Structure 1
């Protein structure tokens, strides 16, 4: 199986994060379309992406939204 080109290949919610993952403008476009224009990379989330090969981009989007929910509504 060929590695995904994170710069130019199509990314969907079912795209699997692989060990070649990179934070690219293409990835940012996916997250902005999925999570909203307020999407921003932060160090913790970028590390989560690197630490979770095999998860899908849909799962990654859900994780980012979960993190934003916690930040907005701390217990």
Structure 2
């Protein structure tokens, strides 16, 4: 069994792009909030179901997260 590389992405200060993978160390930091506000607009906010989706362990990127947040907003109208 091989060990995977350590998860060293710094969610507090590293540059987040749409291609950034959501890793096991993912945190809802101010840096992440700024990214989502820039991508989703001023209406962006975290809610429990979205945070659970972010941390469900399935492979995804920040672009996937933006698309999911927007999908949930369209669905809730």
TM-score by length of 1: 0.90
CA RMSD of aligned residues (A): 1.1
Structure 1 unmatched runs, 5+: none
Looking at structure 2, the residues matched to 29 and 52 of structure 1 have their Cα atoms a distance apart, in angstroms, of 23
Counterpart residue number, 1:21: 26
User: Structure 1 or 2: larger helix share?
Assistant: 1
Aligned equivalents of 2:74 and 2:59: distance in 1?
24
Tell me which structure has the larger Cα radius of gyration. 2
Which contiguous aligned blocks of 4+ residues in structure 1 show a shift greater than 6 angstroms? none
- State the aligned residue count: 72
> Unpaired runs of 5+ in structure 2?
none
TM-score normalized by the length of structure 2: 0.88
* Cα distance in 2 between the residues matched to 1:43 and 1:15: 22
CA distance in 2: counterparts of 1:6 and 1:24, whole angstroms: 6
